[in-house]
Amino acid sequence: MPDVEMTPELRRALLAWYDAERRELPWRGTRDPYRVLLSEVLLQQTRVDQALPYYRCFLARFPTVEALAAAGEEEVLEVWQGAGYYARARRLRQLALRVAREGWPQNREGLLELPGVGPYTAAAVASIAFGEPVAAVDGNVRRVLARVHAEPDPKPAWLERVAGAWLEPARPGDWNQALMELGARVCTPRSPNCAACPLAGLCRARAAPERYPAPKKRRAVNEARWALVLRAPGGVVLERRADGELAGLWGVPMGPGTAPPQAALARYGAGAVEAAGTVRHAFSHRRLVVHVFTGRAARGGEDPGGRPLSELDRKLLRAAGFE
């Protein structure tokens, strides 16, 4: 079946809808690549209402890319606390260090060379901040294109071709955001509001929009962990995590399995420990069940309020009665 043609009249209709209906968000109306990039990084795995306070807080501490480059990793992670996906914050700081030295690349290809910038983010920043006529395809745009074409399994190459053919080169940043906004607010995953859609007249899936695109099959992996919440003379025993999703953050000792081995207890000078329940936490496609144990350590300890902690570690401290 041939692609649905995006006519000049339909382009004008979608942009008119966007101009009238778009949400007023703090990263809209700016062509500052730092602010555009920060919003895109936060929105990769976070809803708009959740991202807003982190966006404002991050800019209040690091108002420019130079300010971010001048900050230490631990300071950046502290401000990022609660936003999750901490590798994004570490890569954002690495990007800032490079941009502070070399300046901003002015197009998608150059942006792709920056740490942590993938094809979608590069296209979004290039079109919004620099006006490059390049299509940006996120999950919302993917859904809109799949439904208009009644395509159950839209492949990346197909999406790139169709999105490129639809692009309005005179307003590429607004066009990309218009399609994203349409998917976020009208062409939603469930119960889409087809009556309010400016593209409804050409949508091949209007009779059964929720069939498109077909849902991806994902299987979460369940993993067991133990965690030690040890009270010590200085507060609670914390250590800096060296790898994984929480690398760079601080947290209580933790390891694989349902109970800490004797070697772990000896390492922290802990005596007998008691089970304090379990905590469940999801990391993308991994689901952790953490068995929490409490006890006392003979040395060390500090105030957890003075370190950047993940939401998982905050849950573990609460489960152990340590606020």
User: Is residue 210 annotated as a catalytic residue, yes or no?
Assistant: no
User: How far apart, in whole angstroms, are the C-alpha atoms of residue 96 and residue 43?
Assistant: 18
Smallest CA-to-CA distance from 231 within 278, 258, 289, 271 is with: 271
Render pLDDT for 218-258 as a digit per residue (tens, 0 to 9).
676 889 999 999 998 888 999 988 877 788 889 999 999 99
The structural domains of the chain, ordered by start, are: 8-211 (1.10.340.30), 221-319 (3.90.79.10)
**Phi, psi angle pair for 150, to nearest 5°:** 50, 50
Taking residue 181's Cβ as centre, other Cβ atoms within 10 Å add up to 21
Q: How far is CA 259 from the centre of its chain?
A: 32
Identify residue 54 by its one-letter amino acid code. Answer: Y
Helix (H) or strand (E) holding 231: strand 221-232
- 44-48, 120-124, 294-298, range with the lowest pLDDT: 44-48
Alpha carbons within 13 angstroms on the beta-carbon side of residue 177 total 28
Rounded to 10 deg, the angle between the 156-166 and 139-149 helix axes is: 80
- pLDDT number for residue 1: 79
For 136: left if phi > 0, alpha if psi spans -120 to 50, otherwise beta; the answer is: beta
pLDDT at position 63 is: 97
pLDDT for 249: 86
- pTM for the model: 0.80
| Helix H or strand E segment including 303 | none
Residue 288 to residue 265: CA distance in whole angstroms: 22
Residue 296 pLDDT > 80, yes or no? yes
pLDDT tens digits for range 141-168? 999 999 999 999 999 999 999 999 999 9
Helices 86-102/33-43 angle, 10° precision: 160
Q: How many CA atoms lie within 13 A of 289 on its CB side?
A: 9
pLDDT digits (tens, 9 = 90+) for 106-137: 999 999 999 999 999 999 999 999 999 999 99
pLDDT greater than 70 at residue 323: no
Residue from 40, 78, 132, 168 carrying the catalytic annotation: 40
The confidence score (pLDDT) of residue 241 equals 87
